[in-house]
Chains A and B, each alone.
Chain A
Amino acid sequence: MKKQDKVSIRKLPTGVPGLDEIMGGGLPEYSFNIIAGSPGCGKTTFAHQFVFANATPEHPALYFTVLGEPAMKMLRYQQQYAFFDHVKLNSSIRFINLSRIVLKNDLDAVLAEITKEVEAAGPGIVVVDSFRTVVRKAQGGTSETDLQGFVQRLALHLTSWQATTFLLGEYSDVEIRDNPVFTVADGLFWLYQSVERNSIVRKLQIMKLRGQASVPGLHTFRITDAGLQAFPRTLGLTGRKEKKAVRSRLSTGIAELDKMMGGGVPEGDSILVAGPSESGKSVLATQFIADGLRHGEPAIAAVFEERPQEYATRAKDFGLDLETPQKDGKLNILYLRPLDLSVDETMQEILDAVQRIGAKRLVIDSLAGFEMALAPGFRADFRESLYRMMGALTGIGVTILSTVETTESLGVSPFSSYSISFLTDDIIRLRYVEIEGQIRTILTVIKMRGGKHSRDIREYDITDDGIVIIGPRIKGYRALTSGLPVPLDQTGQKEPPPAKPTGKK
């Protein structure tokens, strides 16, 4: 069958940001759908968002309320959401209470009442909230065959009258099998919410959607004043571009460090700056941002450990003006609300900001703060999520500098507790060392995926003005990376010749 011979199924916008992409473009028109989940997981809000996004006076929505939340309360609470448009009430959206019919009559009477209202109004959308209460009431004296017949006739009638239908219900996972409602449905959307330690984690899954390819798996979503917002787990990856063969180099803002990196950071790379507390990771990150701004490259700083104002004030102490570029729309310092984020929504916020200002550079300061900002349930997936996020962002040409705190003590040199070096293209390592009764700081470029780099271990210092001064290669010691170097004249070893730059051409 040729493509042009196939029926074209119109896809309706769900009104839920991010959900259309998960559904594969929107909700099929005239489909018969179930929204399932536990109480409080967002079923009614989801249905309202769809209704307010699609109902018109010509194709109104009929919203049948049954024994669940009374319409009066529903209106009271739902009007708090930004999508609620009171002008649509009665002209485009009509609420009809079926409680008495459900309580006093059988399924045939319920079907007759819905049919009567549908035939009178000719709606484009029909919602039954909660359908579960209809079925539960009926099941007392109704066989499974009768119930299946009722659902079948309801679906047939509503589809024939060209209505896109939602039945809402509190179902549990174990009910999926053998439930006639699920068998008849074209679309089955399951909303989950769980408490993970002190945080609420919300996820949704499209378990079934006839006629189009939806994105499988669980996707996180959030309920805010704007209603539901979904975060597709594949966001950005599907359209990922290959990096250019020849890429320009971006300056870190520190000339000596650029030289150590073979001319700067390859555009579109992900760099990791790893080091212990107070070793200057954030200073390097701020210098990286500031240099981009000086060259007209908009930037995003995603900060987790301090508020934007504090971040800008600290930069000001170092002589870096982050206030003006923020006012000019060239810099966005994102403070992502801690404690219950999913990586997907963090990523969405960053992607939105990147697209909004056309950012070329991104700083994530720090990965430890990022992980702490996530709901505990998402921390187990942190590395996998980070991999997706970095892939998506570098895929659209953003150069990312992340900082990570290493927990190290003198004599021990763990690289990173996150084991995330595989995620990054370039790694800069900061370290404390004890030399001649002083704690000093050293810097090394560990890895440059895109080219040659220096293998020198260099001492560095950060002045009160935030200037990073990188000294010459430290000579005369061995075991510098252990933090407890030994003077070579005490070991009897000779100073080795300088190493040639290493890395790929």
Chain B
Amino acid sequence: MNDFPAMQNLARWLLADEAAVANTPEATVQVAVCIRVCEKLRRPLSTLTGVDGYRALISRALALSKADVPSLASMRVMADGSLESPDPVGQERDVDETRKGGASLVAQLLGLLVAFIGEALTMQLVRDVWPDAPVTGTDSNTEKL
């Protein structure tokens, strides 16, 4: 991956931006925000690559993230490419762990896009959804985090 730390910064910015409007209960906020970010990316990417194309991308991103963040183990990719994350039975979600998992998944998805179509096109796709997103991941600030 070209510049994974930059993608992680950008992923954290996107998650923070969504968290600000999500208004979701604290216990599930991080998972919901992650799903919401991916859902926003799913629409334009499915148009671009087809449902199957997007599903392949998000599945790959999830597989890469699961290797780093075990808390993502319960997350699944549905037939249309959307994500589902049932609460783990008998376990409390760790907020920090889920935050880390969300950032990892979004960063991996962005990283795949950068690897395939380059940073310029990736950023253009991101900024079509989040017009205020920093131009590159490296210049994202952490005020919202």
Contact = CB atoms under 8 A, between A and B. Distances in A.
Interface of A: 65, 70-73, 75-76, 79, 86-87, 89-90, 94-100
B118 A72 contact: no
A98 B118 CA distance: 23
Nearest to B120: A86
A51 to B, nearest CB: 15
B124 A87 contact: yes
Contact of B124 (A72, A86, A98, A99): A86
B47 A72 contact: no
A100 B124 contact: no
Given A72-B48, A95-B48, A97-B48, A89 B121 contact: yes
Contacts of A96: 47-48
B125 interface: yes
Contacts of B49: 70-72, 97
Interface stretch (B13-21, B50-58, B63-71, B132-140): B50-58
Contacts of A87: 124
A89 B50 contact: no
5 contacts: A70-B50, A72-B49, A86-B118, A89-B124, A97-B50
Please provide the 9 A-B residue pairs with the shortest distance between their CB atoms, ordered closest to farther: A97-B50, A99-B50, A86-B120, A75-B117, A72-B49, A71-B48, A95-B48, A86-B121, A76-B116
B46 interface: yes
B128 interface: yes
Nearest to B115: A76
Contacts of B44: 90
The dominant DSSP class at the B interface is: helix
A131 B30 CA distance: 44
Given A72-B116, A75-B117, A90 B53 contact: no
Nearest to A99: B50
A90 B53 CA distance: 18
Contacts of A98: 50
A100 B52 contact: yes
A431 to B, nearest CB: 61
B124 to A, nearest CB: 6
Interface string B28-64: 0000000000000000101111111100010000000
Given A71-B53, A75-B117, A100-B52, 20 more contacts: A70-B49, A71-B48, A72-B48, A72-B53, A72-B57, A72-B116, A76-B116, A76-B117, A79-B121, A86-B121, A87-B124, A89-B121, A89-B124, A90-B124, A95-B47, A96-B48, A97-B46, A97-B47, A97-B50, A97-B51
A79 B53 contact: no
Contacts of A75: 48, 116-117, 121
A292 B51 CA distance: 66
A110 to B, nearest CB: 14
A413 to B, nearest CB: 63
Contacts of A71: 48-50, 53
A263 to B, nearest CB: 62
A90 B50 contact: no
A75 B125 CA distance: 12
Contacts of A100: 50-52
A90 B51 contact: no
A98 B53 CA distance: 11
Interface string B109-130: 0000000111011001100100
A94 B48 CA distance: 8
